[in-house]
Amino acid sequence: MGIVRTDDSRKIEIEEFRRMLVTCAGLHGKKDEEESMGRRRLTAGAENDDALDKLVCVTSGVSFLGLAIVNQLLLRGYSVRIVVNNEEDIEKLREMELSGEMMGTNSRIGAVMAKLTDAESLTEAFSGCYGVFHTAAFIDPAGLSGYSRSMSEMEVKATETVTKACATAPSVRYCVLTSSLLACVWQNHSLGNVSPVINHDCWSDESVCIEKKLWFALGKLKAEKAAWRVAEETGLKLVTLCPGLIAGPEFFRRNSTSTIAYLKGAQEMYANGSLASADVDRVAEAHVCVFEAMNKTASGRYICFDQVIACEDDVAKLARETEMQINTIAENVYSNSRTRFTLSNSKLSRLVSRTLRCNDEF
């Protein structure tokens, strides 16, 4: 949220929303037809008919990741309420509703305006919702300095407020928070007890993030910790996902400020083996998969990534996709790094394997 959009990026988002809703409308139209012929079929991921009627809420649901999560929820039969904080996003949704192509889906998606720093408006927005997906991040509203230190503090405040509102809203049982792999990888080597394996138990060091001016990492780290404090104090059932750099079709064009903010420090991450990416659709699938397992086995934190950027070809591809110079991502200035890490997403892989009966995809 807070991203200043160009006309081109807005058109891309509108077209993506239209495509998503048309797809969902077609899927559920076919489902209704099959049921009328006596061939009942459950939507993937739903365990019973009750799950199909659940209302869930997604903050910043018209963002790059938010759209993908909304898409996955609709495909699984959920009704979705999107929290937006400006008229531009409301207008975007209105344009989608005016399209005659999505009659089968628009009754299951709606929007409400609320400020992510206003607990009262959020509690009202979450009213009637079974679960909340908090995906929003603060970006410089002037579009000048990217993700600044002040933005990190705003994100911490917003996340704290969202989780408190989740705990207050009587209907909300579960909250899924989007954190970042950056909240795990920035270790303090001087302590001498750094594990070579980075997994869901690892936390970045705030002092390292501040020293290196890694404000995006600092914001995600402190926001996630704030959410866990609220969850412990209130009893809110919370899980957090820590994805790598979120990629996918035209990801830099659609999510440029966050991408640039994530890649600050890319040279060091590449050198020590902790630079990784995650396809936006798989990140969205992971969010919904974890949410659906929260009444059983899902708990705590989950690292999510598809690929570790580990060779020159990977770097060249990422440079092309982000329109960045190769040496910005992987200049060999950290060749004497004392630690090379191995990233592990085994916890998420096991959960996905159990709940969706698929091979390790994350």
Catalytic residues: 220
Q: H/E element holding 304?
A: strand 300-304
Burial category of 73 from C-beta neighbours within 10 Å (exposed 0-12, middle 13-18, buried 19 and up):
buried
Q: H/E element holding 112?
A: strand 109-113
Distance CA 310, CA 209 (A): 23
Report the 3 state secondary structure along 30-76: HHHHHHHCCCCCCCCCCCCHHHHCCEEEEECCCCHHHHHHHHHHHHC
CB atoms within 10 A of CB 239: 20
Which of 221, 257, 266, 262 has its CA nearest to residue 245?
262
**Beta-strand pair 276-279/307-308:** antiparallel
Residues 6+ apart with CB under 8 A from 235: 167
* SS3 of the chain: helix, strand, coil, percent, to 5: 50, 15, 35
Radius of gyration, CA atoms only, the chain:
20
